[in-house]
Chains A and B, each alone.
Chain A
């Protein structure tokens, strides 16, 4: 039997969270016959509010930030032109395209994949819903600066939603996060997750800091979490130091892999996330890597052929990926 493939396709963190977090999840398992205790849920909200630096009253917690984004799309996109960047986080895009009255994708062009503020401004129509992931998946680029965010939220009836799933990996992440603006702007919402930096993808804990205008989307939304997720999240946020340390290590590993891939002849887009977007001249590179036992994300449904998105794994996994990658690139010359 073939050994299981190396999974570098889902932007997960490569190792388990620390023991105290797993112990929290176990504690949750011992209460599986019960719904979560409202007091414990309140405890998580207080911890999240403290971590994000926003008032508790503006926080919504739910099983995965993608579901919170989905609630927003369903509440507002039917009546509005919805603007996203392209490429973007696929589940959000799918929901938008299925629901929105009109959709405008702002195409990010290689090689830099930057979003020109002027292009975003030109696209704004009234009323509209703007949904931007920053840092962006799959390009790894920071999409927005403070001035652009200010201009968008101050322009008429626009609702702006920023998906900050990867913000902890961005250099000077405090500067590229807009969660602190939510108090000031009623038409701004920021979604985040513990899936990435906190190594808790399997727990599915997402949260959103929402301005007043977004309240309607969450009427009747209780966002109960599974017991193990709730207690794992509480443990993680009570001692969040591990997440910072893991992000630091991952960024170091990411930069090592980036250089190695460039040495192998690939074009690698500088990243502010836990993955790299890689361009090769091999149109079916994703399939060939899969055949070699390494799963990466084939982003060809949004980008030209030859691009792959590869999550940063353990050093051993990254090494195995590199060996397979070099083999394929070499064979295609």
Chain B
């Protein structure tokens, strides 16, 4: 019995830089990777994922053409409807158009194989309209929206087919240029919906409260923050879904990727830049910044932020910076990081900070620069 329509899109060039010492294949780097004799990574990952699917009989597949998907299903004798057309070279445009077409054709889930760049293309194309499963095949994949591995991806697809809940996960905008220079720079690009799989090697030990659904934990954090919030303080809320949970709790809207300001339970600034924030500083003396670390590398203040600049951070003061994050997010970090571009400020922000991780729950985490 076919129940769920699922799309498969493979980015054939993702991950090719790794074997030849490049970091990512964005832009012209793909050609350089080919010149250096790079081997494609995605076929192996795609086959591994498909081989581990247990509920394949309950899936009606839509596939991107040829090496973008259909080839692998055909190899394994899995029937699929091919969507779209591709030329000799494939491009992000192909990924986007095919993803959109699949959703139009009734796909209830998209599986994509690729790296952070592919995740951004999928975000552009479908946003949070349908859940997705990301099979990691990039050189280094940072976005939390990816499964841990091809096998874990198969498990997520099976869980979706069986009917699991979904959670919103981050897609990061990694600056590959910076990554090649061994600097890590990233910002939140958007979010994708991902099936939630909560299993463990030791089910008996997997605590219900340690592994509570991510959205529930975000609501707990938000509820606690709002209960203890000083109504006379100007609160600057950074990007991210955990911060959006706070505005949800207040019954306000949030710019997901930007900075909004709240005072006395009302929005007093939306999608602010540095100038907008400094303008508010003239009106409000009591100020607080609330941020959540970027998944993967833990930056709470990163270089090139157009909002939380060194001037803004100094105008608020370290003691008025509140960090929030789900336990699931912070456990994955070695530490919190700051790189504001102002070495003296980074030094001031270093040390330990209390992160709100739940209702009346904190984690003391080291901040490094």
- Which A residues have a C-beta under 8 Å from some C-beta of B? 9, 86-87, 90-91, 93-94, 97-98, 101-107, 109-110, 116, 119, 122-123, 283-284, 286-288, 290, 295-298, 300-305
Contacts and interface: CB of A to CB of B under 8 A. Distances in A.
A102 B334 contact: no
Contacts of B207: 90, 93-94, 97, 301
A286 B211 CA distance: 17
A107 B366 contact: yes
Given A119-B352, A301-B331, A302-B331, A9 B363 contact: no
A32 B208 CA distance: 36
Interface stretch (B8-16, B81-89, B198-206, B309-317): B198-206
Interface of B: 148-149, 151-152, 200-202, 205-211, 330-335, 352, 354, 357-358, 360-366
A46 B360 CA distance: 42
Nearest to B205: A90
B285 to A, nearest CB: 27
Nearest to B146: A283
26 contacts: A87-B331, A94-B210, A97-B209, A101-B360, A102-B360, A104-B354, A104-B364, A105-B361, A105-B364, A106-B363, A107-B335, A107-B364, A107-B365, A107-B366, A109-B365, A284-B151, A298-B200, A301-B206, A301-B207, A301-B210, A301-B211, A302-B331, A303-B331, A304-B332, A304-B333, A305-B148
Given A90-B207, A109-B334, A110-B334, A298 B201 contact: yes
A244 to B, nearest CB: 30
B148 A283 contact: yes
Give the 7 A-B residue pairs with the shortest CB-CB distance, closest first: A298-B201, A94-B207, A283-B148, A284-B149, A102-B360, A105-B363, A107-B365
Instruction: Tell me if A's interface is mostly helix, strand, loop or mixed.
Output: mixed
A104 B362 contact: yes
Given A90-B207, A122-B352, A287-B152, 5 more contacts: A93-B207, A103-B362, A104-B361, A104-B364, A105-B364
Given A97-B207, A107-B366, A287 B331 contact: no
A283 B142 CA distance: 12
Contact of A106 (B152, B360, B364): B364
Contacts of B149: 283-284, 287
Contacts of B358: 97, 103
